Amino acid sequence: MTQPRVLLVEDDTSIARFVQMALDELPIKLVTCSNVPDAMQALRSGGVHLIITDLMLPGESGIDLVRKLLDGPALGRTVPVAVFSAGLTPVVREQLVAMNVWRMLSKPASVLDLETCVRDALHLTADLPAIAQTGNDSDPISATSAETDEAHAIATHFAGDAFLFKAYKDSCLHQFHADVKLGDAACAAQDWPALRRLAHSLATVLLTLGHPTESVRAQQLETSASHLAAGQCVEHWLELRAFLARL
């Protein structure tokens, strides 16, 4: 029996990895693309049962992808579209509703949010294998603030699965080394749009990993970069860089 195909359009490798890990227990085939042209090619190959797309993508945006589906229903407009983004402002939500987007998920979403999205879209709840829900039934943890934040992240975003959290965290630590180099290069070239894209990604990843303070700092960096505020960009990046280098 052919497994249902879910198309994920996400250019951030850490977020794509999180979605892959979150859906790993479901009997689906996850197809990942990092841009709209590749997503359209995947749709032309057929068999896609659900599209999950970010809004901020290189080149054309997630909004552009939805517009293409509206203009060419044969390419997959009948397929449910879930927008998965940290930029779901009230204005954006209204725009997506007007475009008949099926569901909106704010980043960071939990494992259960993603699983429920897929189950609802595919109408396979009765056929999908039961997934053990790991509750957080242990005694309250007496720990440092960092450990408390991490425990909260495990309970909130990973359904209490500490092993899944650790696997995702390990994959992110490798990516952070590349992120530091990318941020340094963007600052040196005064490429504020590139720094903004990096900050946008880091804000979600850091919050998912249980670093709310650093996530806010990344959001501040994103705002500064969007306003081309060079001094603030450098200041916020150096603070964020110092934290990433310690991980």
CATH number at residue 19: 3.40.50.2300
For residue 145, what pLDDT is reported?
Answer: 66
In a domain, 158, yes or no: yes
For residue 74, what pLDDT is reported?
Answer: 56
Q: Are residues 22 and 65 in the same domain?
A: yes
Cis amide prior to 4 (ω within 30 degrees): no
C-alpha span between 202 and 225 (Å, rounded): 14
State the residue range of the domain holding 9: 5-122
C-alpha span between 129 and 229 (Å, rounded): 50
CATH number reported for the structural domain that contains residue 149 in this entry: 1.20.120
Say if residue 127's pLDDT is above 90: no
Q: Are residues 202 and 106 in the same domain?
A: no
For residue 132, what pLDDT is reported?
Answer: 36
Q: Exposed, middle or buried by CB within 10 Å (0-12, 13-18, 19+), for 223?
A: middle
Q: Are residues 104 and 166 in the same domain?
A: no
C-alpha span between 221 and 237 (Å, rounded): 7
Q: Which of 14, 25, 65 is nearest to 41 (CA)?
A: 65
CA dihedral 99, 105, 108, 112 (to 10 degrees): -160
Q: Are residues 112 and 193 in the same domain?
A: no
pLDDT in tens, 42-82: 998 888 889 999 999 999 999 999 998 887 655 545 788 99
189/141: higher pLDDT: 189
CA dihedral 162, 168, 173, 178 (to 10 degrees): -170
Output the average pLDDT for the chain: 86
Q: What percent of the chain has pLDDT over 70?
A: 88
Determine which of 53-67, 115-129, 145-159 has the lowest per-residue pLDDT on average.
115-129
What is the amino acid identity at position 15?
I
DSSP 81: E
For residue 144, what pLDDT is reported?
Answer: 54
Q: Are residues 118 and 198 in the same domain?
A: no
In a domain, 72, yes or no: yes
The CB density around residue 62, as the number of other CB atoms within 10 Å, is 26
pLDDT in tens, 12-29: 999 999 999 999 989 899
Say if residue 142's pLDDT is above 50: no
For residue 148, what pLDDT is reported?
Answer: 83
Three-state secondary structure readout of 95-123 = HHHHCCCCEEEECCCCHHHHHHHHHHHHC
147/186: higher pLDDT: 186
Number of domains in the chain: 2
In a domain, 132, yes or no: no
Q: Which of 25, 18, 6 is nearest to 128 (CA)?
A: 25
Say if residue 2's pLDDT is above 80: no
